[in-house]
């Protein structure tokens, strides 16, 4: 068994760097993304809300795939990760996250989510039909992952076709598991 392990390790070490997913890191915040197999990551321009942003998509994703973004929250600095986890797992916070999204989405599911020692929430929703919303928006479903650390909030938003959303959800979860949060 040890010999097989050594052979596998030697094989992995011989894989050219071009075959490995490229890590992207925002030096200012520490937000890091390693895309899962079959996905690539690109930097996006920061916004007023998100100081670090990445797109994580398959090569043929046109308007689907994921965005990973970080928002600094100085008010979190006075809390430990355990205290933030308690807040994020509370019914009050889950209900608040759900209520916030219901402005623009028909929320299908809200659930606690753990990423290692960091607790957060996932929400699944469909954009509400209303004037000005493109017809295409009604064909996709959105999955939100919201996690908080003492440095701030990391949000991963993934969009997939409603027709194959459940099958693609595990890919979206792989995107989240390739993110290193600012701590």
CA distance 32 to 179: 6
In a domain, 15, yes or no: no
What pLDDT, on the 0 to 100 scale, is given for residue 15?
35
What pLDDT, on the 0 to 100 scale, is given for residue 151?
96
- pLDDT tens-digit readout, 137-177: 999 999 999 999 999 999 999 999 999 999 999 999 999 99
In a domain, 4, yes or no: no
159 CB-near residues (< 8 Å, 6+ apart): 63, 64, 65, 66, 140, 141, 142, 143
In a domain, 145, yes or no: yes
CA distance 163 to 180: 30
What pLDDT, on the 0 to 100 scale, is given for residue 21?
62
In a domain, 5, yes or no: no
Look at the block and give the residue holding tokens 């919201």: 146
In a domain, 1, yes or no: no
In a domain, 160, yes or no: yes
Residues of the chain with pLDDT > 90, as a percent, come to 85
Q: What total number of domains does the chain contain?
A: 1
CATH number at residue 99: 3.40.1000.10
- pLDDT tens-digit readout, 92-142: 999 999 999 999 999 999 999 999 999 999 999 999 999 999 999 999 999
Q: Which domain holds residue 67?
A: 21-180
In a domain, 6, yes or no: no
User: Tokens standing for 77?
Assistant: 């600095």
pTM value is 0.85
């Amino acid at each position: 068994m040890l010999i097989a392990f050594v052979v596998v390790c030697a094989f992995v070490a011989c894989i050219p760097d071009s075959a490995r997913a490229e890590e992207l890191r925002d030096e200012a915040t520490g937000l890091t993304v390693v895309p899962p197999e079959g996905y690539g990551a690109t930097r996006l321009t920061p916004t007023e809300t998100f100081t670090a942003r990445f797109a994580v998509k398959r090569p043929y994703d046109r308007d689907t795939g994921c965005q990973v973004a970080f928002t600094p929250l100085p008010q979190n600095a006075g809390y430990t990760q355990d205290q933030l986890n308690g807040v994020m797992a509370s019914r009050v916070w889950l209900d608040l996250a759900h209520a916030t999204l219901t402005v623009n989405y028909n929320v299908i599911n809200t659930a606690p989510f753990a990423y290692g020692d960091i607790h957060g929430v996932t929400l699944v929703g469909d954009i509400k039909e209303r004037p000005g919303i493109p017809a295409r928006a009604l064909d996709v479903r959105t999955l939100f992952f919201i996690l908080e650390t003492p440095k701030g909030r990391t949000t991963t938003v993934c969009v997939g076709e409603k027709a194959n959303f459940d099958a693609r959800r595990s890919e979206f979860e792989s995107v989240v598991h390739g993110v290193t949060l600012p701590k």
